[in-house]
Amino acid sequence: MSLVADELIRFSSVLRIAYNFLNGRDFLKRKKFREKKKLISVGLPFSDLVYGFPDLIPVFPIRMHEFEIHKYLTYLGSSSKIFGWDRVTNFLGWVKDLGIKDISQTVDDIIENVIDTINSKYNEMYDIGVENGISTDFCYGVKSLYGMNVSKGKNCDANLNYTIRCSTWNKYLESIEAIGNPSKQIWVEIPPRNIGNSLELFIDNITQGINELEKLSNFSYSENALRNHFQTANQIRQSYKKIIYDISTADFYPCNPATFCEILSLLNISFHDYNSNATRYKDNTTLLLNEMRGRINKGIGMDVSKMPKILITPMFGGWEPKMHDIIYELGGRVLYGDWDLLRFLDDIPISNRADPVEAYAEFLMNATENGIGCDNDILTDSYVRLAKNLKADGLVFVQVFGCHSVSNCYTMLREKIRRELEIPSIALNFNKMGENVEQVRTRLGAFMEMYK
C-alpha cells in the first residue's frame, strides 16, 4: 500500500465526518422520503432535544444542499456502503479495480478541498439571504442562515428556535416565518439571566418545546430516549474537548497546523446537528481522537513546539478561514475553541439530575450565563478563560460587521487580556469570506512580527 493510501486509512475518521457532512442531502432525502422521518431545522448547536424522538432528524439547513464531493470521498463513501466503514481499507482495492490508479492526494489536500467547498456554499447562502431581503445590517452568520432557510427550509417540518441574548438572532428567528415555508415554528425561550425562578420557567419552556415536537412525532416523549442521547452527546463533548485541549496545545501535531485547523473547522460546523446522527458522530469523533493520538505516538505529523499559539475567535458569526493558512505561513499555529468558549462543550449534567429536561435546562442556562454571557463583562471573561486554558500566546478577535452583541466588547477584552494574560491581541474586521484577504494578511503580518 502506498504511503498516501496508508495515510488516508489512518485518518479515516476525518474523511467520514467530511463525507457525512457533504453527503447530507442524500442521507436526509432517504430519511424523509423512504423512511418517512421528519426533518427539524436547527441553528447553533441546539439539536439535542430532537434526538429524544426516533423519527425526528435535526438538520443544520446548509446540509440539505448539494455539495461537490471530492472524488476520493465519493469512493470512500461508496465503498463504505458495500463493505461498511470498519472495513474501509477495502476501498483502496475497489478504487484500483475501477482503474483509478493514481492515489496521489493526501489527506491535507482532501480536507482543504472540503473546507473550501463548505465555505463557498456559505457565501452562496449569504448572497441568497441578501437577495431575499434580509437586512444588510445583519451579521454574516445570520444572513447565511436566512439564505439556507429561503433555499431549503421548505423541506423541513419544523424550525426549532431558541432565543438567545442577541436581538439580531431573535429578529432573524422571527423572520423565518415570513419566508412562507410550511414548516412549524417551535419556540424555546432561554431566560437571559438566572435570577428568581428563571430556571423553573426555562424548564417549562423546554417542556413546551418537547410537547410541540411530540405532536410531529409518531412516538411519545420518553425520558430514557433523551437521557440516552445526552450520554452520547456528552461523549462527543469529551472527545471534542480532548482534541481542543490535549492535541491542539501539544508540541507535536498529527498533521500540519493548517490541516489541523481545517479539521477543527469541520468539527465546529458539523457540531450544530452532529451530522444528523449523534451515535455515528460520537463514533467518528472518538475515532478521530484515537487516530490523532495513534499518529502522534508513531511520530507521524509535525513538531510545532516553536510555533506561537494564536487563538482566533469568535467564529460563530462568520470569520475568514484563510487566517489560519496565513498565520501558518507566518510561523504560527491557530487554535479554535468557540463551542467551549460558549460552554457548549460542558457536560449535560445527567448524572446528578433525575429529569433529563432539568439537566438540559441547567446546561443551557450555564451556557447563557457563563459562556455567551448576559453582559460583555461575562462574555469577555469567557474569552480570557479560553485563552488562558489553551495557554495562547496571542489572540485575534474577529469583529463581525453588523454584530452589536459581541463585536463591541473588544476594548474591554483587550484590557483584560493585557492585564490578566499579558499577551498581544488584535481585532480584525470581517464582512464576508474571501473579502479583504490581502488586508488581513498585512495586519496579521505586522501582528506576527511580535513573535520574531
The site for ligand SF4 (CB under 6 A) is made up of 139, 141-142, 166, 168-169, 316-317, 400, 403, 405-406
State how far the alpha carbon of 93 is from the alpha carbons of 4, 17, 405, 441, in Å.
14, 22, 53, 43
Select 164 or 330, whichever has its Cβ closest to ligand SF4: 164
User: How crowded is residue 201: how many other Cβ atoms within 10 Å of its Cβ?
Assistant: 14
- Secondary structure element (H or E) that encloses residue 14, with its range: helix 12-22
From the CB of 323, what's the least distance to ligand SF4, in Å?
A: 17
Select 173 or 210, whichever has its Cβ closest to ligand SF4: 173
From the CB of 372, what's the least distance to ligand SF4, in Å?
A: 8
From the CB of 273, what's the least distance to ligand SF4, in Å?
A: 18
From the CB of 167, what's the least distance to ligand SF4, in Å?
A: 8
From the CB of 121, what's the least distance to ligand SF4, in Å?
A: 19
Select 19 or 344, whichever has its Cβ closest to ligand SF4: 344
First-to-last alpha carbon distance for the chain, in angstroms, is 42
Asked if 243 contacts 26 with a C-beta cutoff of 8 angstroms, the reply is no
From the CB of 129, what's the least distance to ligand SF4, in Å?
A: 12
Residue with cell 463581525: 400
From the CB of 168, what's the least distance to ligand SF4, in Å?
A: 4
Select 141 or 153, whichever has its Cβ closest to ligand SF4: 141
Select 334 or 379, whichever has its Cβ closest to ligand SF4: 379
DSSP-derived 3-state class of residue 268? helix
What ranges in 23-139 are assigned the alpha helix state H? 24-29, 71-83, 90-97, 107-131
From the CB of 170, what's the least distance to ligand SF4, in Å?
A: 9
Q: Distance (Å, rounded) from C-alpha 100 to C-alpha 80?
A: 17
Crossing angle of helices 356-366/198-216, nearest 10°? 120
Q: Distance (Å, rounded) from C-alpha 156 to C-alpha 171?
A: 20
Q: What is the 3-state secondary structure (H, E, C) of 48-64?
A: HHHHHCCCEEEECHHHH
Select 301 or 402, whichever has its Cβ closest to ligand SF4: 402
State how far the alpha carbon of 228 is from the alpha carbons of 44, 113, 225, 367, 423, in Å.
21, 35, 5, 21, 42
Of the candidates 388, 154, 115, 148, the one whose C-alpha atom is nearest the C-alpha of residue 262 is 115
Select 404 or 418, whichever has its Cβ closest to ligand SF4: 404
For the record, the C-alpha cell of 287 comes out as 475515532
From the CB of 179, what's the least distance to ligand SF4, in Å?
A: 18
From the CB of 192, what's the least distance to ligand SF4, in Å?
A: 13
Q: Distance (Å, rounded) from C-alpha 67 to C-alpha 118?
A: 8
Select 54 or 133, whichever has its Cβ closest to ligand SF4: 133
Select 13 or 313, whichever has its Cβ closest to ligand SF4: 313
Select 125 or 255, whichever has its Cβ closest to ligand SF4: 125
User: In this chain, which residue has its C-beta nearest to ligand SF4?
Assistant: 317
State how far the alpha carbon of 111 is from the alpha carbons of 9, 89, 266, 267, 445, in Å.
14, 19, 9, 12, 25
